[in-house]
Structure 1
Amino acid sequence: MDWQEISGNWVYIPRQPRAVIHFLGGAFVAAAPHLTYRLLLEDLAKQGYVIMATPFINTFDHRAIASEVYNRFEDTLELLQKRRYLPTDNLPIYGLGHSMGCKLHLLIGSMYDVDRAGNILISFNNFSARDAVPLMGQMPVEFNMEFSPNPQETLKLIAEYYDVPQNLIVKFSNDTLDQSYTLGQTLKQIFPGQISTLTINGSHVTPLGQDFQWQLNPQIFTPFDAIGQWFKQEVHRDLHQLRREILDWLEPVASR
C-alpha cells in the first residue's frame, strides 16, 4: 500500500501492522511530511509500523497546533479501525517527532490523557520566537510576539503534567539547534530510569535525508560525480543509523 490522505493525515499501512507511529515534523517542513521525511518513514513502515503523519502550518500558538494534530490523529485512527484497515483496535501507539514535532508530542502528552506506548523525540527544539523566527529580534517591542507556551512554560508544563514514561531522546553530534539536554534532565526527574538518551552522527536535517538519484555517466567520471556519491553515502549512513536506533528502541519497548 502507498501513501493515502485520510482525514487530514498522510497514512502508510504495511501488510502486517504491528504498531502505529504518529509522526510530527519540524516547523518549516511539516506541511508535507510524507514527502520531506519519506525515506525515514517508509523504512519504518517496511518493518511493520503504520505511519500516520499529520501535516500542520506553524503559528505562534503551539497549544492550538498540538490540539489540532492530536484530534486529527484520533479521528483518523478511529476511521481506520471502523474500516478494518488495522488488524486490531489494540495496536500500541508511539509518538515520533522531529524538532518542533517533539514539542507538540510533549504538549499532547501534557494536555491530554493519551494512550502512548512511548515517544521518540529527535532534535528537540524549544527556542523562543526571538531566537527561532528570522528578524523577530529587530522588530519594535510592541510587535514582538512569543510562542504559546513559551520555552519556560513548556518545560514547566512537561514537569507537572507529562504522562508518557517511556521516551527515547535523540541528539545529533553536529546540531546547533538541539536542546535535548534540558529536556532529558526534566524527563529523568519525572521518570527516573525510564528515559533513554542517545547522541549519533548527523545534523539537525539528517531525518530529512532523501534518496538522491545521482546520474553517473559510465564513460566519464568527474570530480562532481565523486562529490555527489560521497554526499549521498554520508547522508544515507547517518539516516540509516537513526533508523536502526529507532527500531532497536522500539523492539524491547513493544514487548513490555
Structure 2
Amino acid sequence: MKFQPISHSWVAVNPQPQGVVQFIGGAFFGTFIPMIFYRSLLQSLFEQGYTIVIYPFNFTFNHYVEAGFLIKEQYAVIPELVRIATKNLYEYENYLENTNYYWLGHSIGCKYISLLEGFSALPQNAEARDKFIRDLITKNQETRNFTADSVIADIELLIAELKREYIQGKNLIEYYISQALQYQSQTIKLKPEDVTIDKIFIKGQASVLLAPVNSGTDSAIPKPLAGIVDKIGLGVKPIPSLTFEIIKKANLFNLLGLIAFDQDTKLAFSTVKWFDHNYGDKNGDNHHPDYQDFRFTRNGGHLRPLSLRIGNIVFNFPDSVQVSLIEPVASRIEDFEIYVTKLFKNLDQKRREQDKS
C-alpha cells in the first residue's frame, strides 16, 4: 500500500479494486499524516481489495463549507483513479459505478459524512430546497432566530459547482478510457440542470461511522465562551442539534453502519447514545428494524481505530486498559478491523437487495 497525492488528498490505488473506501479521520490525527496514524485499519482494507482515498479537512467552524470541499474532492479524485488505472493496466471498471464508492469516518470525520448524506435528501427543485432548509432551521429551538439566507446561499453555490464538476469529471473519465482503448473520446453532453441532487452527493454509497462525534463550539473552546460565540452566530455550523435534525431528514441509516467502543465514555458517548435511541429503540423517532444488524460495539476507547503498524506488529494508542499497547496484526484484525470490512460487505448486500425490490 503506497500513497500518492492527488489534488488535496492521499490515494493508495489497488491493482484489482473491488471498490473505493473514502476515509475521513478525526481531528489532528485525520489532518496530519493519517496514513501513518491509521495505518493498520487502512492496510487491512487495502488487503481486502479496496483502493483507499484519504480526504483531509481544515479546522473550521463552518462544517457546511468543509463538507462541500470533501465532496468536490471526490470529483477531482475519481477521474485520476481511472487515469492511473488505465496507465498502469490495472482494472478500472469498478471506478465507473457510483455504488462502488464507500465512506469511512472516525470521530468528527463522521459528522462530515452525515452532512453529505443529509445533502442527498435536499429536494431537486430550488424553491422546494429553500423551504426545506428554512423549515429545518426555524423549527430548531437553537437556530430559529438565525437567518437561513447564508446557509441557503452556501448550499446553492455548492450545488452549482458540483454539477459543473460532475460533468467535467465524466468527460475526463471518458477521455482517459478512450486514450487507453485508442478511440476518439466523446464529450458528455449533459447540462448542469440535467444533473440531479442524488447524483452529485453520496446517495446509494454505503458509510461506516467509527466512534462518531457530533461536536459543537464547546469542543474547541471553553463552554462559557462557546455559548457567547454561538449566540452571535460565529460558532460551529451546523450546531449539534441541527446536525441531528439533518440526519433524521436524510433517513441516514438506510445504508449506514456504526461501530462504538465500550471504553469511549466521553467523546463519542452522547452521539452514539443518540443514534441508539433514535434508530435502535422501538419508540425512537427514526426506528430502523435492522439497526442492530449494522451496529457493533468493540473493545477499546475512542482512539482504537488509530495505530502504528510495523511489519506484523501493531502499536496501539494507550486509551484503554482492555487493549494491549502492542499486539499482532492478526489479533487486531480479528478484534476490530474485520468488523469494518464485514459492515461494508453486509451494507453492499443490503443495497443490492434494495435495488432488486
TM-score relative to the length of structure 2: 0.61
Instruction: Name whichever of 80-89 and 17-26 sits farther off.
Output: 80-89
Distance in 2 separating the partners of 1:57 and 1:242:
28
Deviation at 1:239, TM superposition (A): 6.0
Deviation at 1:78, TM superposition (A): 2.8
Q: Is the partner of 2:325 in helix, strand or coil?
A: helix
Deviation at 1:201, TM superposition (A): 0.2
Distance in 2 separating the partners of 1:235 and 1:181:
30
Distance in 2 separating the partners of 1:172 and 1:140:
28
**Structure 2, unpaired ranges of 5+:** 121-197, 312-323, 353-357
Distance in 2 separating the partners of 1:141 and 1:161:
28
Deviation at 1:164, TM superposition (A): 6.1
Query: Partner of 2:289 in structure 1?
Result: 193
Query: Partner of 2:123 in structure 1?
Result: none
Equivalent of 1:110, from 96, 103, 118? 118
Equivalent of 1:177, from 257, 260, 267? 267
Query: Partner of 2:327 in structure 1?
Result: 233
Are 2:340 and 1:246 aligned? yes
Count of equivalent residues: 239
Are 2:211 and 1:123 aligned? yes
Distance in 1 separating the partners of 2:21 and 2:263:
26
Relative to structure 1, the CA distance from residue 190 to residue 74 in structure 2 (aligned partners, 3 Å threshold; closer, same or farther) is: farther
Deviation at 1:184, TM superposition (A): 3.6
- Greater helix fraction, Structure 1 or Structure 2: 2
Query: Partner of 1:216 in structure 2?
Result: none
Relative to structure 1, the CA distance from residue 41 to residue 51 in structure 2 (aligned partners, 3 Å threshold; closer, same or farther) is: same
Equivalent of 1:203, from 297, 301, 317? 301
Are 2:245 and 1:156 aligned? yes
Query: Partner of 1:15 in structure 2?
Result: 15
Equivalent of 1:139, from 225, 237, 246? 225
The superposition leaves residues 136-170 of structure 1 with CA deviations (integer Å, 9 ceiling, x where unpaired) of 22538655652100010000111113556121111
- Greater strand fraction, Structure 1 or Structure 2: 1
The superposition leaves residues 95-143 of structure 1 with CA deviations (integer Å, 9 ceiling, x where unpaired) of 100001111100001113324431100101113221x124x22538655
| Bigger Rg over Cα | 2
The superposition leaves residues 2-22 of structure 1 with CA deviations (integer Å, 9 ceiling, x where unpaired) of 111111111111221001111
The superposition leaves residues 204-231 of structure 1 with CA deviations (integer Å, 9 ceiling, x where unpaired) of 0111111268xxxxxxxxxxxxxxxx52
TM-score relative to the length of structure 1: 0.82
Relative to structure 1, the CA distance from residue 62 to residue 140 in structure 2 (aligned partners, 3 Å threshold; closer, same or farther) is: closer
Q: Is the partner of 1:245 in helix, strand or coil?
A: helix
Q: Is the partner of 1:198 in helix, strand or coil?
A: strand
Distance in 2 separating the partners of 1:60 and 1:24:
17
Distance in 2 separating the partners of 1:198 and 1:242:
10
Distance in 2 separating the partners of 1:41 and 1:253:
19
Query: Partner of 1:87 in structure 2?
Result: 92
Distance in 1 separating the partners of 2:287 and 2:308:
35
Deviation at 1:28, TM superposition (A): 2.1
Deviation at 1:242, TM superposition (A): 1.9
Deviation at 1:64, TM superposition (A): 0.8
Deviation at 1:30, TM superposition (A): 1.8
Could you list the structure 1 runs, at least 4 aligned residues long, displaced by more than 3 angstroms after superposition.
82-86, 138-145, 184-191, 234-240
Partner amino acid for 2:223?
G
Deviation at 1:173, TM superposition (A): 0.7
The answer (yes or no) to whether the contact 2:13–2:81 under 8 Å persists in 1 is no
Deviation at 1:72, TM superposition (A): 0.4
